[in-house]
Amino acid sequence: MNREQRLRAERFHQLHAGPRPLMLPNAWDAASARVIENAGAQAIATTSAGMAWALGRPDGERMAVRDLLATCERICRSVTMPVSVDIERGYGRDAKDTGELVGALLQLGAVGINIEDGTLPGTRTLSPPCGLMERIACARGVAQHHDVPLFVNARIDTYVVDMPADERPGETRRRAFAYVDAGADGIFVPGLSDPLEIARLARELPVPLNIYVGYPGAPTAARLGELGVRRISLGCGPMQSVLAHLARIATEALAEGRYDAMGEAMLSVSEANGLFEPVDAVEASPARIVGGAR
C-alpha cells in the first residue's frame, strides 16, 4: 500500500488515544461522508444498515458484496480522512471470504473495519465466538500482507440479543478478551448503557471501548469520556433521522401543500455541488461509457 494510506491508518489508531473520545457520525454514501467531513469529523465510519437501506435492501448482509465495495469506493474517493467500513459478520461462509473482502477494501483505501459476532441464522442466539476470532485473525493477516495497520473493531452483541441480564457482563468480557487475543484493536458493545458496567469494562479492557449512541437520550460524549469510553458511534441513527425528516417534508407537501420543513435548513445547489471535485470530462463522456460497456 502507499505511504499516504499507511499514515491515515496510523492516524486512525492515534485518534482512539486522544484527549476526547473519537466521535463517529456514521456515513452511508459519498454525500453523507462529505457532509460529515465538512462538519469537522476526524474520521469516517460507515453504517451497514444505512448503506443497505440506501441500496433498497434490509440490514443484515443483504446487500451484495459488489454493492458494498462500490459504495465504499465512492466514499474513500470523496474524503481525505481515515475510513473504517462496517462489514457486519464478515460476509461469506468463512474467514477466507472475510479476508478477501478486507483485501479489496484495503485496495480502495480503507484503514479500518467493524466486524461483529452476531447471531445464529434465524435466531436471537449469539454465534459462538470462535467464528469471529477466525475472521479477525484472517483480517489481521491480510492487513499485514498489505503492510497497513488496519484497525479491527470487534462488535459484541451480548446486549442486543435474547440473553439473561445477569449473564451479559461476564459473557461480554469473555468474548472481548478472546477477540483481543485474536487481533482486535477495539471492542464495540452496542446496547451497553449502564454507567457502572461501561466504566468497569473500559477499565478492564487493554484496547479502546466503543459505545453506540444512535438513540434519543444517549449519554453525552463528555459523560462517556469520564467513564473511559474512547470511541462513540452514531451508527444508523443519522440516516434514521434523515429519513424521518424526509417523511416530514413529503407529508407536509402532499397533505398540506407547504414546504416549511424543507425550507428550515437546506444546502444550496452550489453548496451541494461543492461537496465534490468536478468529474473529469473524459471520464464522464457518454461515448466513453458506451464504449466501455461493449
**Torsion sign, CA atoms 88, 91, 96, 99:** negative
Could you report the per-residue pLDDT of 7-47, keeping only the tens digit for each?
A: 999 999 999 999 999 999 999 999 999 999 999 999 999 99
Q: Are 68 and 51 in contact (CB under 8 A)?
A: yes
Reported as a single tens digit per residue, the pLDDT across 215-239 is: 999 999 999 999 999 999 999 999 9
> What pLDDT is recorded for position 277?
82
User: What is the mean pLDDT of the segment spanning 54-73?
Assistant: 96
Question: What percent of the chain has pLDDT above 70?
Answer: 94
User: Higher-confidence residue: 292 or 269?
Assistant: 269
Q: In this structure, are 50 and 140 located in the same domain?
A: yes
Same domain, 223 and 271: no
pLDDT at residue 278, as a whole number: 63
> Is residue 288 pLDDT above 50, yes or no?
no
Taking all residues of the chain, what is their mean pLDDT, rounded to a whole number? 93
For 101-124, the pLDDT digits (tens) are 999 999 999 999 999 998 887 788
Question: Is the same domain home to 34 and 165?
Answer: yes
Domain identity same for 90 and 220: yes
Nearest to 5 by CA among 157, 134, 152, 108: 108
- Give the whole-angstrom CA distance, residue 53 versus residue 66: 15
| Domain co-membership, 113 together with 219 | yes
**pLDDT bucket at 57, cuts 50 / 70 / 90:** very high
Q: What's 208's DSSP letter? A: -
Domain match, 260 and 185 both: no
What is the separation of C-alpha 204 from the centre of its chain, rounded to a whole number of angstroms?
Answer: 24
One domain for residues 166 and 268: no
- 202: domain CATH number is 3.20.20.60
Which residues have a Cβ under 8 Å from the Cβ of 277 and sit 6 or more positions away?
Answer: none
One domain, residues 195 and 279: no
Last residue within a domain, chosen from 203, 235, 267: 235
The domain in which residue 280 lies consists of 244-293
Check whether residue 177 and residue 281 sit in a common domain. Answer: no
In this prediction, residue 289 has a pLDDT band, given cuts at 50, 70 and 90, of very low
Q: Quickly state the pLDDT bin for 283 (edges 50, 70, 90).
A: low
Q: What's the total number of domains in the chain?
A: 2
pLDDT of residue 292: 42
